[in-house]
Amino acid sequence: MSCFGMLLLDDVMHRFMAAQYPTLRVLSFVDNWDFMTWDPDAACKQLDALLAFTKLADLTVDRKKTFAWSTDPEVRRQLRSTGLPVLQHTKDLGAHIAFTRQRTNKSITGRLEDLTDFWDQLKRSRAGYKAKLRAVRTVAWPRGLFAVESAPVSRSTWLAQRRRATHALQMDKAGVNPLLLLGLVESYADPEFVAVVRTVAETRLQCPLDFWASQVFPAASGNLQCPASSPVSVLLDRFQPLGFVVHPSGCWEDRIGIFHPGTINFTELCHRLQWQWNSKVAADVAHRKDYGGLDFADPTRTRAKLASLPIDDQMLLRLSLAGALFTQPEVVNGAGPKIRCNIGTLSACIRKTCGFNMHRSSLPCVPSCQMPWFCALGLSCRPLTLRGSVCWILFLLFVLRWVLRFVPVAGLRFSLMALVCGSRTPVSVWRLGEPSLPVRVILLGICPLTG
């Protein structure tokens, strides 16, 4: 039957049920019919009402897709006694629906698991990085996160999807953090952040304005116990980890100020969500010493600076931003006393692995005239809200740079950690040992070697 014919049949069915069974409420979408009632006595009669109408209209009911549900345990027991299959959760029009307090998300996780073939095809593709990233945004997440607003998703599921996406992008190098790559280096590429934006947007669209004060605030303050799969619980599970504070009026508060999520411009709401998301990513990776100071990073300017570089340099710098290790053994052991190099922390854009344990005799001695120079592009990506002491340190370092450029220093050795964008074989540590030549260093961070 055509869609127009089903539309006419749905209208007839609604009128028949309203006249013959006034205690039943009917929801229809083409050939998907749902019968609901608050009357326990009428719950077991819903199937009889459906069969009565289909007999008059000469239709056939698919008994394999027909099931019953209830939020009351006693009614569920009565429904089972009639021989109907009673479900506790199911998928309806693609969305996950749970009818008990049990935390379930089978429909969402199953849809994400179905992306396995897509990830394999994307990895085998010979397309470039940007084309693959566009496929992740426009194909993978719309397909796997369809109706993600209807069910909670665990952190382990988000982590697994990030790893699969990073693997498909062929960015799963040593030291790369999938959360940092998809959540901060790239925009709107992290599945969890996409789920946050879609959940808040769908709640704004479907819920009344008083929902934020009557439901969200009591649940956020602990005065309202909602099932884990309820819309309120799913919404709280999405936005509360970002650090928003909910007020009794339903307004939210972030580091910028107070606003109402139901009345604010959606573009501004997305910017506020992105701002809080950046802080969450910085907090999640703060346990690694190399990622200190990400709270002061400016991802937008960093992406603009990254896009202005040559294509080969973009990939190297993108790996560096995501925390990749450019040396195969990240820890080099040698005889004698060891030093710990903690370099690269001045820039929120350039991120190198700083936890190297090396003996100075194991470092290659390279002539200073052959040393590739690399400007500290990361310094331009730092925000202007730096502390005064940091500004003085940067000023003194640049003064020292110009002094060392023109004044020969005999016997002075420096350990330099820099990203060499002009070479496909990046160099991690240099030892300058030519006392007769001027020592010229682009300061990403230097420390004198002992001895």
241 and 163, same domain (yes or no): yes
Phi, psi of 78 (to 5 degrees): -65, -35
Return the closest-CA partner of residue 76 out of 352, 67, 275, 201. Answer: 67
Return d(Cα 20, Cα 438) in angstroms, integer.
97
User: Is 92 a member of any domain?
Assistant: no
User: Is 291 a member of any domain?
Assistant: no
314 and 417, same domain (yes or no): yes
320 and 437, same domain (yes or no): yes
Res 90: pLDDT: 85
User: Is 223 a member of any domain?
Assistant: yes
Res 406: pLDDT: 59
User: Is 246 a member of any domain?
Assistant: yes
Res 444: pLDDT: 35
200 and 153, same domain (yes or no): yes
pLDDT digits (tens, 9 = 90+) for 331-341: 444 433 433 33
Kindly give, in sequence order, each residue whose CB lies less than 8 Å from that of residue 367, ignoring residues fewer than 6 positions away.
434, 437
- Which domain-ending residue is among 285, 319, 347? 285
119 and 80, same domain (yes or no): no
75 and 115, same domain (yes or no): no
67 and 122, same domain (yes or no): no
- Which domain-ending residue is among 87, 122, 138? 87
CA distances from 271 to 122, 197, 199, 346, 407 (A): 30, 10, 15, 27, 49
CB 344 within 8 A of CB 377: no
256 and 355, same domain (yes or no): no
Res 345: pLDDT: 31
158 and 26, same domain (yes or no): no
Instruction: Give exposure, 68-87, as e/b (b: 16+ Cβ within 10 Å).
Output: bbbeeeebbebbeeeebebe
188 and 334, same domain (yes or no): no
| Full-model pTM | 0.70
146 and 80, same domain (yes or no): no
- Which domain-ending residue is among 269, 285, 301? 285
Res 330: pLDDT: 42
User: Is 303 a member of any domain?
Assistant: no
- The number of folded domains in the chain is 3
The 3-class secondary structure across 148-193, one letter per residue, is HHHCCCCHHHHHHHHHHHHHHCCCCCCCCCHHHHHHHHCCCCCHHH
User: Is 293 a member of any domain?
Assistant: no
77 and 179, same domain (yes or no): no
Report the length, in residues, of the chain.
451
Res 234: pLDDT: 93
Res 321: pLDDT: 87
Instruction: Supply the Cα-derived Rg of the chain in whole angstroms.
Output: 30
Q: Is the dihedral of CA 2, 8, 12, 14 positive or negative?
A: positive
User: Is 298 a member of any domain?
Assistant: no
For the chain, which ranges sit under pLDDT 50? 327-388, 409-451
User: Is 296 a member of any domain?
Assistant: no
Q: Which domain holds residue 62?
A: 3-87
Residue-by-residue DSSP string for 222-254: TSS---TTSHHHHHHHHHGGGT-EE-TTS-EE-
